[in-house]
Amino acid sequence: MSVLVIDVGSSTVRAAIVRPDGAVGDLHQQHLTDLRPSPGVAEFDPAALASAALDVARSALAAGGPVRAVGITAQRASTIVWDRQTGQPVAPGISWQDLRTAGRCLALSARGFRLTPNQSATKLAYLLDLVDADRSRDLCFGTVECYLTWILSGGSAHVTDATNAAVTGLILDDATDWDDHVLDELRIGRALLPTLVDSTGVVATASALPGEPPIAGLVGDQQSSLIGQGCLRPGEAKATFGTGGMLDCVTAARPTFSARGERGTFPIVAWRESGRVTWGIEAIMLSAGSCIEWLRAGLGLIGDAAESDEIAGSVPDAGGVIFVPALGGLGTPVWDFGARGTFVGLDASTSRAELVRAVLEGIAHRGADLLEAAETDGGVSVATLQVDGGMTANATFLQLLANALQRPIAPALVKDATTLGAAYLAGTATGVWASLEEATATARHGPVVEPARRLDRQRWLDARSRALRTVPAMSAISF
């Protein structure tokens, strides 16, 4: 039998049926409304999200069910608080993108707490201060997969897996338990928190769905993509190029640093099975596909994202033009929120095609930044990089990425490998596959793209240095 996967992103919720041969079908999706009432504030309606998830899940089951199990993967660190008795949210959900607690994070850093505004910890404290100042109400906290498990199980399961818990800022470095030191500082009671569970294993019955299949896979979106592309062994890595970019790599053990490594990467729980954590490392690019959207909406140089492939491919190179994709700052390895997008090498002969190609080259160079940082901080060597996300439809970009990395890349045939990863975890727990190794053997990739030439990394790095500290006040912020 097959597996139902519910996959929640920042703007859509999808459900699909994954069959034992790894084929994905019966896809249904709904768009989610992202509420941004003021700069730096990003909210969503948890009840609307849950309703959409139920709708698409039931539609997928009607088309392709029954199924052996349910897997859930979702955006990480988005924060929801609901009433334990009624199951109703008590406030809007706070998106992982929300920055309203940045000031509190900076104040906490002076007290020795390494928390960032994209984690759940200060978001949860903010919501509790808003709706339960004296901490007397019977409330539940959860990230998106936790809340959906509660909804699907009819309120019988309040659980979160280690991949999601590990990015809340509320857990110990070894991912074994909640961190009482942080909880006490933020006045968060343990009674609000879900039980930590494995990423693969039956945790509840989805009584809200036809057939009441077991919920057997919970995982954060980036880790799900890592597993979905078959990266199970140390040194195997994937990069997802969407609005931003994430590179995740499996490591042999937990990285030695507790928060951020010297090259700007972070330790992650890749997955947990039978109580055993497999560790990884994550590198982050703040601007990737958003630069392509800027070419379209901001500059009018392209009609749509697909046109960037054709236009960039119409010239042999960028004509000496270099672009640093730092429209919202730079992440790994330099972490400068005050860096800004920069063109270098423009002259009167620069054409539209060369500008577009320079933007694609700049994103490819940032991909090389992430890989170099992950290899250094993680003590690993990546032979071939697996890639997924919307930008993998751009053949010119894929070739430029291979050129920048100077190693082969393998694009996933399933654009959103998150769906596969959650299916593999849930299906392994319920006998669809005997092991993750057997499950991931069904993962399919397109033709491997080999490096064709070498991009000038040193010249690009020189340009990157010029983009730094453009907004000094923002550059002074460090988490």
Which one of 179, 201, 221 terminates a domain?
221
| DSSP code of residue 88 | -
350 and 396 in a single domain? The answer is yes
211 and 255 in a single domain? The answer is no
In Å, how far are 65, 70, 85, 472 from 405, measured between CA atoms? Answer: 42, 37, 53, 31
Per the structure, the count of domains in the chain is 2
Q: Is residue 64 part of a domain?
A: yes
Q: Is residue 422 part of a domain?
A: no
How many Cβ atoms from other residues are within 10 Å of residue 67's Cβ?
A: 29
In Å, how far are 45, 287, 296, 460 from 243, measured between CA atoms? Answer: 22, 6, 14, 21
* Whole-angstrom distance, CA of residue 360 vs CA of residue 324: 10
What pLDDT shows up at residue 36? 83
Asked if omega into 333 is within 30° of 0 (cis), the reply is: yes
Burial label for 467, CB within 10 Å (0-12, 13-18, 19+), is buried
Read off the CATH number of the domain in which 209 is found: 3.30.420.40
What pLDDT shows up at residue 433? 98
137 and 238 in a single domain? The answer is no
What pLDDT shows up at residue 414? 81
Burial label for 208, CB within 10 Å (0-12, 13-18, 19+), is middle
Query: 106 is in which domain, residue-wise?
Result: 2-221
Q: How many helices (H) and strands (E) does the chain have?
A: 15, 20
* Whole-angstrom distance, CA of residue 192 vs CA of residue 397: 45
Burial per residue of 133-160, b for 16 or more beta-carbon CB atoms within 10 angstroms, e otherwise: eeeeeebbbbbbbbbbbbbbbebebbbb
328 and 214 in a single domain? The answer is no
Q: Quote the tokens at residue 177.
A: 């338990």
312 and 217 in a single domain? The answer is no
118 and 264 in a single domain? The answer is no
Burial per residue of 361-396, b for 16 or more beta-carbon CB atoms within 10 angstroms, e otherwise: bbbbbbbbbbbbbbbbbbebebebbbbbbbbbebeb
Q: Is residue 304 part of a domain?
A: yes
What pLDDT shows up at residue 377? 97
What pLDDT shows up at residue 194? 98
Q: Quote the tokens at residue 450.
A: 């080999």
189 and 279 in a single domain? The answer is no
From the list 85, 123, 95, 99, the residue with the least C-alpha distance to 34 is 95
Q: Quote the tokens at residue 236.
A: 């195997």
Q: Is residue 421 part of a domain?
A: no
pLDDT tens digit sequence for 137-194: 999 999 999 999 999 999 999 999 999 999 999 999 999 999 999 999 999 999 999 9
Residue ranges of the chain with per-residue pLDDT less than 70 = none
196 and 317 in a single domain? The answer is no
Q: Quote the tokens at residue 70.
A: 């349910």
In Å, how far are 6, 264, 294 from 373, measured between CA atoms? Answer: 32, 7, 27
* Whole-angstrom distance, CA of residue 309 vs CA of residue 307: 5
73 and 150 in a single domain? The answer is yes
Dihedral pair phi/psi, residue 161, rounded to 5°: -90, 165
